[in-house]
Structure 1
Amino acid sequence: MQQILNFILKNSTRLLFLLLLVTSLTLTIQSHSYHRSQMVNSANAVTGSIYEEVNEVHSYFGLRDQNDKLAKENAYLRKLLFNKKDSSSTLLKDSVKGYDKLEVLQSKVINNSYNKTENYLTLNSGAIKGIKPDMGVISSEGIVGVIEKVSPRYATVISVLNLKSKINAKVKRTNHFGSLIWKAKNAGYAQLIEIPRLATVKKGDTIVTGGRSTIFPENIPVGIIDRIYMDTETNYYTLDVRLFTDMTNLNHVYIIKNKEAAEINKLEAETIKKDE
C-alpha cells in the first residue's frame, strides 16, 4: 500500500495531466457529434478487425469438418452420376427392388505407399460400413485402385501402382478396350496394353474405365495417352497413360459398391464351371 502511495506522490503531475486529458477528450466527444461519430467508427473498425481475425481462426480449425461434408456431398453426387443410363436425367432404378444399382461411399486415406513395386492404401472404412473386397476406389480426379482386404473398420486397397493391378479400360474416342497395368517405372504413369493395331489412337486421347466388370462403372477418368509404341511380343499397342489422379497425394476417396455384383459374379462362375 505504501508503495502505491509513493508511486502516486512521485508521479502526481503526470497522473493529473493524464486525468485532465482524458476528461477533456471525453467532454469534446460528447459535445460534438462529428468527434463522437469518428470515435464510434474507429471503435467499430478495431472491433471488426478483431472479429475478422477470430473468424479466420475458427474457419481454419473448421476446415476438416467442411472437407468431410464436401466429400460426403461429392459421394452423393457421384452416385447420381454413375447411376445415369446416359446423358439423360433418367437413373438406373431396379423396378422391383427400387434402389440404385451403384452406391458411392466416402472414405479417407490413412496410409499410402507409391514408391514400391506393390503399393497399397489403407482406408478408415471397413465391413461395418458395407465395404467388401473387389470394390472400386476412385478420387475426385480418377481411379485409385481396388479393395483387397477388409476388417470391421478398415480396408486395404491394391493401388493402380501395383504390379498385381489389372483394370479394364478403353480409349474413349475409339472405344478400343485393353488392360491397364503398371510396370513399376513411374508413379505418374500406367500402361494400357492389348490395344489392337487397327485402333487409330493418338497422343492426348483420353483413357477411361471400360465398364466390363463389376468393379468400376464405364467412363470413369483414368488419364491421357502420353506415348504409343508397339509391343514386339504381342503385336499390340502399348500406351503410356499419364494418370489424372496424383497417387502421391491422396486424402478423401470414394468407394463404388455395385449392388448387383454378387449376382453377376455368381452367374458367371456357374457358367464357367458348367463349361468345364
Structure 2
Amino acid sequence: MKVLMFGDVVGDLGRQTLLSYLPELKKMFSPDLIVVNGENAAMSGRGITRAITRELIAAGVDCITLGNHAWAQPEIFDFVEWEEHMIRPANFPPGTPGRGFITIPTSKGKCTIVSLMGRTFLQPLDCPFRTIDAILEQTPPSHYILIDFHAETTSEKQSFAWYVDGRVSAVIGTHTHVQTADERILPKGTGYLTDVGMVGPYDGILGMDKEAVIRRFLTQLPVRFEVAKGRSQLNAVLIEFDPHTKRAKKLKRIRIDEDFPLIS
C-alpha cells in the first residue's frame, strides 16, 4: 500500500505546479492513494474554492485536507458538508460543518485519513490527542490510518506522533511550508515526518511575496500578503505500508525545484 501526500498547495502557482507534475509522479510511484493539503490553494493563498476542489479531484486526488485557513473562502460553507473527498480538522468543536476523517477503499484495503490541528500558536481547538483517541475507538484495526497533523511547532507534532505510535500507520505534518529531513519509523511502526513541505512559489517566503513579508518584520505594521510569482517548488512524501501489520515500511521525501529537478 502506497500513499503519495503533498503538503500545503499555495495559490494558483502551487496548483499549476501540482497538476503539472502529478501525472509523471503517478507513473513513477504508482500510489494507491493521493492526499493533498488544500487549505492554501485559492488564488489569494488562503482557503479553497469549489472549482479548485473539483479540479484537484479530477486530476486524481483522493483526499483534500484542510487546516487553520479552512474557512477563508466564504463559499466553503456551501460545499464542505457534502464534499466526500474533503476533510477539515477533526478537533474543531461539535457543530462545525464538514467531517474530520474519511475512509477510502482501495485495492490494497481501506485507509482512514484523519485531519487534526495543533493548538500551540494556533486556535484553541479541542485537544487533538483526545480527539484521535475517540476516532480510533470507532476505526477497525484492519484499516490503514494516515493523519495529517496541521501544527506550528515541532514539539507538538513529535509529541503527538509518539502518543499514537503503534496505533496509526503514519503521522505527516503540514502547515509550516518547509520540508523537514527527519522522516523515520517509530519503534511500534508509525511512520513520521514533521513537515512534508509546500507546493508553490520557490522565491517567496512560505509562498508569499518576500518584499511584503520583510516589510512586515521591518515595520511591524499590517501588510497585505500576496502569493509570490516566478519559479515553483513541489514537496511531497511517499509512504509505503505493510499490508499485514498496517504499519509503515518506508518513507521517501520528494523535492522538486531549481536545485532538485524531477528525474524520471
Please report the TM-score for the alignment, with normalisation by the length of structure 1: 0.25
Query: 1 or 2, which has the higher helix percentage?
Result: 1
Which has the greater radius of gyration?
1
